[in-house]
Structure 1
Amino acid sequence: MSEAQLTSPVGVDAVVVSAPAAGAGTFWRRLRAQRAALCAAAVAGLLVLFALTAPLLILLEGADSTTYHPELVDSARGGVPIGSFGGASGSHWLGVEPQTGRDLFARLAEGAQVSLGVALGATLIQVAVGVSVGLAAGLGNRWVDQLFDRLTDVVIALPLVVMALAMLAVVPEDFPRPLLVALIIGLVAWGTIAKIVRAQTIALKSLDYVAAARLSGWNTWRIARRELLPGLAAPVLTYSALLFPVNVVIESALSFLGVGVKAPTASWGQMLAAADVWYQAAPQYLLLPAGLLFTAVLALTVLGDGVRTALDPRAAGRLRVGTRAGQGPAAPAPAADTAPRKEGAV
């Protein structure tokens, strides 16, 4: 691929395409070279496994996330769990919730499913809508480009919390709340990825191989599918990897503010909202969801940064100072002969 430089719009990092995107083998080799990314991938994998096996783990514990256990809390002390470590026992591995007595491990496991599932669903919606709008804007004529570009600007300017409140006012109460939160995030926050795809499409469609495909009689859809989408894979995957942990935080923030997932459905943000008054009497009720949320966001962010580095097409061309391409350290240049020559010497 010929060298092409893409300068993103305001608020989007610049992307420079100077070589074809890394293949699968090159990508994995570069990713394995980053120890922090590998550790983050292991932690993220454990969290995903925890979320996927949540029903089995809850069944193994023998509890559920909705049953109240008033006999396990001390009503005279305001509902503090009875026993040490929040009432932890063989029947309740991490103790119980204050006031309600609901099993804390079951709610954390269900919260992992909800928080990670909502973030994943929102990311997929953002990628689908953003890539579609960005491609349409980049491949359309001047009027189509201006229309979609102005639409994208409007979407970027929309306040997420206000839109969430507006949608919650018109959506029926029986509509699944996790799905609604994923739709809200996905349909409101796709503007940045649309800007990235539009700018990358404009840069790619001016290259020789795209012009050759157009002269061969290919229609716009075939050119987009066969020529442009492979070139868009690296920036889209890079941004998606960094967008996923952001969506985890957004879901938790919406649930914490009371406009996201609500009880009895558990999510880490909703648990934090209910635990803010128990940090002294039952600190594990606050620390456990906060610790899982912090670990998930940190691991996913580090992994996303590792994916960005591994997909960077400039990584193959970077050279260490004092080295030559394909060779070891550069040999030192021979020192200049500064000794005085004898008169008549050759």
Structure 2
Amino acid sequence: MSEALVAVEAAGAEITAPAASGARQFWRRLRAQRAALVAAAVVALLVLVALAAPLLTSVEGQDATTYHPGLVDSARGGVPIGSLGGIGAEHWLGIEPQTGRDLFARLVEGARVSLGVAFAATLVQVLIGVTVGVAAAMGSRWLDQVLSRITDIIVALPLMIMALALLAVVPASFPRPVLVALVIGLIAWGNVAKIVRAQTLTLKGLDHVAAARLSGWGAVRVARRELLPGLAAPVITYAALLVPTNISAEAALSFLGVGVKPPTPSWGQMITAADVWYQAAPQYLLFPAGALFTTVLALTVLGDGVRTALDPRAASRLRVGTGRARKEDAA
């Protein structure tokens, strides 16, 4: 019996030994993917712009809330005066129709709000979803049933209706960006929990997880040392797709009056307000929509690259399939 335990402990040590080099292998695989590196650079640039928004607006000499009524044509309903929506040395991307607020300032300040809300909501979703999913898969059958039913209820909850209900009880003094992030995160974690639970049930049947449990490790240690590394790939990939989804959710909540309210800018709010101006002032729609599209595309490509770097077997299967296809074409 003691020899068997020694063998199990040795197997567990053998499994965890390569963990030290796992980070280096991940970065080496990620660097081999040019598209993922470009996407990472775009995401880093967007985050940098969001963080440096006050500095950028001060360099331009404008801010996101000051009205410039003299720069819009009131006779035409508030259309910006000048070519290309009033683009010039003082207003780098033009001005907002009807109000005359600087579009560049609102775009970079809106990046702080939209990205901040999206990343914060995603973090809340991942933390709750991973905790519930792992607990359901590793716990008893009774606990699994309870947590699974709670997860089903969370998935079925309509986000917009729940947000409107929360608006009635949350004081108006509560910061709206924080409220939106909490509403999205606390209501929309169900799919993360389902993915994590399914993946954890699969990992539980692997030899190295069984060896760790037989060696006397507790459930928390098994989850932290053996399960979480295997969950990293699907969770990170899904989280990268959640960020643009959460940006869209923030836009919908802002449209319903629950989310970020003027004069605080956000990309979703700008796109919503631009639906009546896209013909008279197309840049008012194109700039925030372009920023949102770029963010979605970059995060999607980066998420796929991270998945491949964390799961090299996917890249191996792709290369094998490509090689077979080439041989068939050559034949």
**TM-score band, normalised by shorter chain:** 0.7 to 0.9
In structure 2, C-alpha distance between the alignment counterparts of 1:52 and 1:291, rounded to whole Å: 19
Deviates more, 1:243-252 or 1:102-111: 243-252
- Tell me the residue number matched to 1:193: 192
Structure 1 letter corresponding to 2:221 = R
Post-superposition shift, 1:140?
1.1
1:184-263 correspondence runs (5 A): 184-263=183-262
Higher Rg: 1
Residues 115, 248 of structure 1: 8 Å contact kept: yes
Q: Rate the CA distance shift 1:307–1:213 in 2: closer, same or farther, 3 A.
A: closer
1:248-327 correspondence runs (5 A): 248-315=247-314, 317-318=316-317, 320=320
Post-superposition shift, 1:241?
2.0
In structure 2, C-alpha distance between the alignment counterparts of 1:322 and 1:113, rounded to whole Å: 42
- Tell me the residue number matched to 2:166: 167
Structure 2 letter corresponding to 1:224 = A
Unaligned ranges ≥5, structure 1: 1-19, 330-346
Residues 158, 188 of structure 1: 8 Å contact kept: yes
In structure 2, C-alpha distance between the alignment counterparts of 1:137 and 1:38, rounded to whole Å: 36
Deviates more, 1:236-245 or 1:93-102: 236-245
Q: Rate the CA distance shift 1:322–1:267 in 2: closer, same or farther, 3 A.
A: closer
Deviates more, 1:242-251 or 1:313-322: 313-322
Post-superposition shift, 1:58?
0.7
- Tell me the residue number matched to 1:15: none
Identity across matched positions, percent: 74
- Tell me the residue number matched to 1:55: 54
Residues 238, 311 of structure 1: 8 Å contact kept: no
Would you tell me which structure has more helix in proportion to its own residues? 2
TM-score, normalised by the number of residues in structure 1: 0.82
Post-superposition shift, 1:288?
1.1
In structure 2, C-alpha distance between the alignment counterparts of 1:155 and 1:235, rounded to whole Å: 20
Post-superposition shift, 1:321?
5.9
- Tell me the residue number matched to 2:152: 153
Residues 154, 187 of structure 2: 8 Å contact kept: yes
> Deviation digits for residues 74-133 of structure 1, max 9, x if unmatched?
222221222222222322211211111111111001111111111100110001000110
Structure 1 letter corresponding to 2:84 = F
TM-score, normalised by the number of residues in structure 2: 0.85
- Tell me the residue number matched to 1:124: 123
Residues 308, 315 of structure 2: 8 Å contact kept: no
Post-superposition shift, 1:294?
1.3
- Tell me the residue number matched to 1:98: 97
Structure 2 letter corresponding to 1:231 = G
> Deviation digits for residues 240-283 of structure 1, max 9, x if unmatched?
12222222222223323443211111001101111111112222
Runs of 4+ deviating beyond 4 Å: 321-324
- Tell me the residue number matched to 1:110: 109
Unaligned ranges ≥5, structure 2: 1-17
Q: Rate the CA distance shift 1:262–1:323 in 2: closer, same or farther, 3 A.
A: closer
In structure 2, C-alpha distance between the alignment counterparts of 1:73 and 1:61, rounded to whole Å: 20
In structure 2, C-alpha distance between the alignment counterparts of 1:195 and 1:27, rounded to whole Å: 26
Residues 241, 307 of structure 1: 8 Å contact kept: no
**Aligned alpha-carbon RMSD (Å):** 2.3
Is 2:70 the counterpart of 1:41? no
